[in-house]
Structure 1
Amino acid sequence: MIRNATPDDLDAIAALHLDARSTYYRGHVPDAEFAGPEELARTRAGWGRAVERGEVLCAERDGEMAGVAAYGRVDGTMMLTQLHVRPDRWRRGVGAELHAACLDRWRAAGVTGARLEVFEKNERARAFYAAHGWTPDTDAPRSGTHLVLRLTLEPVAE
């Protein structure tokens, strides 16, 4: 089930976020950048702001949070800012369902294109996005250690 996140979800969202990030950042960046109490507090606060804006979707499976996605406009462009799935739920359709729910919302709002940044060394995520139609942004292909990808959305058929 996909639903809007609420403030009551913040602890579960932050824990899922840090668990997922540790799988692709560990060994590539210092642990302090993705783990520990300070990072947990920063992560929870960031997700809290996105939840307040109504820009977070949660995926539930068997009564537990299995994935989370956040999006919003940055400088007029729709951004998929986060998409994380609990590692023990990978390859079970959770990410695809969250992604599709984001696209549905964007299309309903008249969005025709979106961007995201993916950690260059996160090959699993890069393959996921490529399989879902995201392509390299030729205008601005990089942002630090992240690759920038674009997606063109077909308008909703009338």
Structure 2
Amino acid sequence: MIRPATPADLDAIADLHAAARASYYRGHIPDEAFDSPAEHARTRAGWAAAIERGAVLCAEQDGTVAGVAAFREVDTVMTLTQLHVDPGLWRVGIGAALHSACVGAWQCAGVDSVRLEVFEHNTRAQSFYARQGWLPDRDEPRAGDHLVLRFTVPPAAE
């Protein structure tokens, strides 16, 4: 089930985010950059703010948060800022369901294009986004150690 996140989900979201980030950053950047008390506090504060804005969707499985997605306008561009699935539940459709829910929200909001950044070494996520229809951004292909992707939001089915 996909639903809006609530403040009661904050601990589960922060824990899931930490586990997902560890899965793709470990071995590529220093652990303290993603797995330190300061980074966990910063991440938790960011998720709290996003939940308060109403910009977070949760995938729930068996009463547990199994995935999370967040999006918002960044410099007037709709941006998928986060999409994480519990690493123990990869490849069972949770990410695709979250992505589909995001697309529905973007369609309702009249958004026609969305941007995201994906870590250059996170080939699993890159493959996922390619399967969803994301393409490299021709105008801005990189942002530091992240690839920039674009998604053209299809018109809503009538």
Q: Distance in 1 between matches of 2:88 and 2:154?
A: 33
Corresponding position of 1:56: 56
Corresponding position of 1:101: 101
Q: Distance in 2 between matches of 1:55 and 1:123?
A: 26
Give the number of equivalent residue pairs.
Answer: 158
Corresponding position of 2:22: 22
Corresponding position of 1:77: 77
Please give the residue correspondences for 1:6-155 in structure 2 after superposition, counting only pairs within 5 Å. 6-155=6-155
Two-structure CA RMSD over aligned residues (Å): 0.8
Q: What is the TM-score with the length of structure 1 in the denominator?
A: 0.98
The CA deviation at 1:156 is 2.1
Any idea what the Cα deviations from partners look like across 1:45-75, whole Å, max 9, x if unmatched? 0011111110000001011110000000111
Structure 1 spans left out of the alignment, 5+ residues: none
Whichever residue aligns with residue 55 of structure 1, its letter is A
Whichever residue aligns with residue 140 of structure 2, its letter is A
The CA deviation at 1:36 is 2.2
Structure 2 spans left out of the alignment, 5+ residues: none
Secondary structure at the residue paired with 1:126? helix
Secondary structure at the residue paired with 2:139? coil
The CA deviation at 1:113 is 0.5
Moved over 6 A (4+): none
Q: What is the TM-score with the length of structure 2 in the denominator?
A: 0.98
